Amino acid sequence: MSEPERKDVGFTIDGNEVAGEQGQTILQAAALANIYIPHLCAMRGLSPWGSCRVCTVLVNGRPQAACTMPISEGMVVENDTADLNDLRSSLVEMLFVEGNHYCMFCEKSGNCELQAVAYRLGILSPRHPYMFPVRQVDGSHPDVMLDYNRCILCARCIRASQELDGKHVFQFIKRGANKRVGLNSANGAGATNLVVDDKAAEACPVGCIIKKRVGFAVPVGQRLYDKKPIGSEIESGRAATSMR
């Protein structure tokens, strides 16, 4: 028998009363209460990271990342406001212009969280100028391809490899604009101990880590976010049971 729930931390999100458990983050507690807070670097089962900043909310008037901020009794959280959604749009647009995201040619289109969050926020085109960086593609692994053009530096692969696979396939190297996901080998992904069944290969929210030979198995139009916007699984409560 599972432990009884101790939802003893009461707070509000956009005026709605939410009860959560001590130790939960705002993002976790909100999801369990069927409230969607847009996010990209946060992923169920991985430790909080707080790098994309898309989940920025106001906590008692101060900006905080909902994915790393623990809940506390009586806190007042603002989430779905015009200002915050504009801020989030600006951040998502930054991620678009920073890389090379050609949705129409991308195998991940329709399953891509970056694309889905952009649609959900109503982004039509980025307000920022494209940077068109020159980035590498690593095809050295027999079963997995890495297309760094699409990497948004969310660190989900890094954390999944360490926390779920018990490996160290990925880690950030360099800094600033040059920061990128490095590999635990001098000779590309093929020389690492990454295998296609690793959780790390599943963790990518965009089309950077792609499995070979299974492309377009599900046709465009029938994909995860083709019918319903991202976050609707949380709002409908379908995600709540599995989030626990």
Partner 1 sequence: MADNSSVVRQICGKLGNDKNRLMDILLSVQAQSGCIASEALDEIAQFLSMSRVEVESAATFYAFFSEERRGRFVIRLCNDVIDQFHGMDRIAAAFRAELGIEFGQTTPDGLFSLEYTPCIGMSDQAPALLINHKVVTRVSTDMVHEIVQTLRTTKDLGQIKFPLGDGNNSHPLVRAMVLNNLRQRGAVVFAPTTPAVALQRALSEQPVEIIKIVKASRLRGRGGAGFPTGMKWEFTRAAEGARKFIVCNADEGEPGTFKDRVILTEAADLVFEGMTIAGYAIGASEGIVYLRGEYAYLLPFLDDVLARRRAAGLLGRDILGKTGFRFDIRIQLGAGAYVCGEETALLSSCEGKAGDPKTRPPFPAQKGYLGMPTVINNVETYCAAARIIENGPGWFTSMGTQGSAGTKVFSVSGDCGQPGIYELPFGITVSELLARVGATDTVAVQVGGAAGRMVGPAEFGRKFCYDDLATGGSVMVFGPQRDVLGVAHSFMEFFVDESCGYCTPCRVGTRLLLERLRRFLAGTADGVDIDYLEKTGKTMKTASRCGLGQTAANPVLSTIQSFRQEYERRLKPNGAVFLSSFDPRKAVVTAEGIAGRASMHFGTQKSEVQS
Footprint of partner 1 on this chain (CB under 8 A)? 48-54, 56, 63, 65, 68-70, 82, 87, 90-91, 94-95, 97-98, 122, 124, 127-129, 131, 152-153, 168-179, 182-186
CB-CB contact of 128 with 97 (8 Å): yes
Q: In terms of CB distance, is 31 or 189 closer to partner 1?
A: 189
Q: Rounded to the nearest whole angstrom, what is the least distance from the CB of residue 80 to partner 1 in the complex?
A: 14
Q: Rounded to the nearest whole angstrom, what is the least distance from the CB of residue 84 to partner 1 in the complex?
A: 9
Q: Rounded to the nearest whole angstrom, what is the least distance from the CB of residue 165 to partner 1 in the complex?
A: 13
Question: Tokens standing for 182?
Answer: 């490095």
Q: In terms of CB distance, is 149 or 233 closer to partner 1?
A: 149
Q: How far apart are CA 199 and CA 141, in angstroms?
A: 16
Q: In terms of CB distance, is 31 or 66 closer to partner 1?
A: 66
**Angle CA 179–38–97, to nearest 5:** 40
- Report the relative pairing of strands 76-78 and 9-13 from DSSP bridges: parallel
Q: In terms of CB distance, is 127 or 238 closer to partner 1?
A: 127
Q: Rounded to the nearest whole angstrom, what is the least distance from the CB of residue 218 to partner 1 in the complex?
A: 29
Q: How far apart are CA 150 and CA 180, in angstroms?
A: 11
CB-CB contact of 27 with 49 (8 Å): no
Q: In terms of CB distance, is 107 or 205 closer to partner 1?
A: 205
- Which regions of the chain does DSSP assign to beta strands (E)? 9-13, 16-20, 56-59, 62-65, 76-78, 137-138, 144-147, 170-173, 180-183, 209-211
Q: How far apart are CA 11 and CA 30, in angstroms?
A: 10
Q: Rounded to the nearest whole angstrom, what is the least distance from the CB of residue 177 to partner 1 in the complex?
A: 6
In terms of phi and psi (left: phi > 0; alpha: psi -120 to 50; beta: otherwise), the region of 121 is alpha
Q: In terms of CB distance, is 78 or 239 closer to partner 1?
A: 78
Q: Rounded to the nearest whole angstrom, what is the least distance from the CB of residue 104 to partner 1 in the complex?
A: 20
Determine how many CB atoms are found less than 10 A away from the CB of residue 163: 15
Q: Rounded to the nearest whole angstrom, what is the least distance from the CB of residue 123 to partner 1 in the complex?
A: 10
Q: In terms of CB distance, is 21 or 240 closer to partner 1?
A: 21
